[in-house]
Amino acid sequence: MPWKETSPMQVRLTFVVEWLKHETSMAELCRRYGISRQTGYEVIARYRAHGLDGLKPQSRAPHHHPNAIDEAVCAAVIRAKARHPSWGPKKLQPLADEPELNTLTAGWPVASTRGAILARAGLVVARRRPRPHTPAWTQPFGSVTGANETWCADFKGWFRTGDGMRCDPLTITDAHSRMLLRCQALQHGIDTRYVQPVFEAAFREYGLPRRLRTDNGPPFASTGAGGLSRLAVWWIKLGIVPERIEPGRPSQNGRHERIHRTLNEATAQPPAATMRAQQRRFDAFRTEYNQQRPHEALGQQPPISRYAASARRYPRRLEEPSYAEADQVRRVRHSGEIRWSSGTIYVSSVLIGEPVGIYEAADGWLVRYGPAELGFLDPPNSRLRAAKPRRSGTWHRRAHRTDQ
């Protein structure tokens, strides 16, 4: 014989039917069903008030939440998110043109509550938990304690606009204030001919930084002596020290890399129809990012609140590096070589026509271009020998000075 299955609804209905027959007392009926008389009377009361619907399972959730966020506040948070889709809950504040601004500001929910409101509205996209990063290796980098001490530059990563054109966004930021100085859509890829004018426009508008931090790829660096590219040589002649992160270590330029994720979400998902339309998106993003968007690392203030133009203005003409403490100075010939002893030594083609300083060191004769170490002279092979990794101060006292 199969087991009989019963549900709470069926048990309650049977209880009510037996009670309606008036064949037994409520006390006896409740003992038979193993419930208290209070529960029995509650079941009968729900049946009288709502009929069979009253016997269905009831939610235990409270009907009134005294600490619930007002619907007007929830709507204001959602409107603020709609105005700034790329902003997270920490940055959202009441919109300035809200008519009820004065009443909302006093009761504006905290960031976690704003996040919960956005999550309930389906306006939050869950992100994968990032993998742990190795702490940045900053030994060769200068400290960043003020605006224009270090600028950071990189390409965001190319994509195609709606019309199929390749777009390579070049971004330049100030490491101290996080100011986005340039976000330029380049159509011709990473070519010095198109990259240099972007930097020149930034230098003319904001002045010169003391250092410029990039990765090891072109056009910022090369595989030649000292890793110098034509762009890096130009920076050195402007009095800017190139800083290059280690290969495969984007965390060493983490302040700059972080903006790329925000830029991609706000302007390239999906890409614009044309390059011109994409640049308009970049320009609008840069204005909002610099002047309106609160930055957590800046105490929820926009980058423009921490930035001031550099006092080092763009010069009218370039100056060659000087080598007051060098033992000898040689000018690189049209073949990329320098004269040494009775022969020549190849240095680099990007330094043709430029002077280099030669310093006597413990490991040999060190060649430098401005602050950049190119390597040691290797006359038997007519080339430069790469310098071995060393700690600062281990070579000749005259070789470690930067004379410019």
Give the pLDDT band (50/70/90) at residue 404: very low
Is residue 378 a contact partner of residue 385, using CB atoms and an 8 Å limit?
yes
What is the domain partition of the chain in residue ranges?
8-55, 71-120, 150-306, 320-404
Please tell me what DSSP assigns to residue 131.
Answer: P
Task: Choose which CATH entry (3.40.50.300, 3.10.560.10, 3.30.420.10, 3.30.565.10) describes domain 150-306.
Answer: 3.30.420.10
- Encode pLDDT of 240-296 as tens digits: 999 888 776 776 777 787 888 888 888 988 999 999 999 999 999 999 999 988 888
Give yes or no for residue 310 having a pLDDT over 80.
yes
Give yes or no for residue 392 having a pLDDT over 50.
no
What percentage of the chain has pLDDT greater than the value 90? 39
- Encode pLDDT of 202-220 as tens digits: 999 999 999 999 888 889 9
Burial of 311 (0-12, 13-18, 19+ CB in 10 A): exposed
As a residue count, the chain comes to 404
Burial of 128 (0-12, 13-18, 19+ CB in 10 A): exposed
Where does 32-131 show beta strands of DSSP type E?
A: none
Sign of CA dihedral 386, 391, 396, 398: positive
The reported pLDDT for the residue numbered 323 is 93
Peptide bond into 219 cis (omega under 30): yes
How far apart, in whole angstroms, are the C-alpha atoms of residue 180 and residue 394?
Answer: 39
Give yes or no for residue 186 having a pLDDT over 50.
yes
The reported pLDDT for the residue numbered 397 is 37
Structure tokens at 338: 């320098």
What integer is the mean pLDDT of 124-130? 66
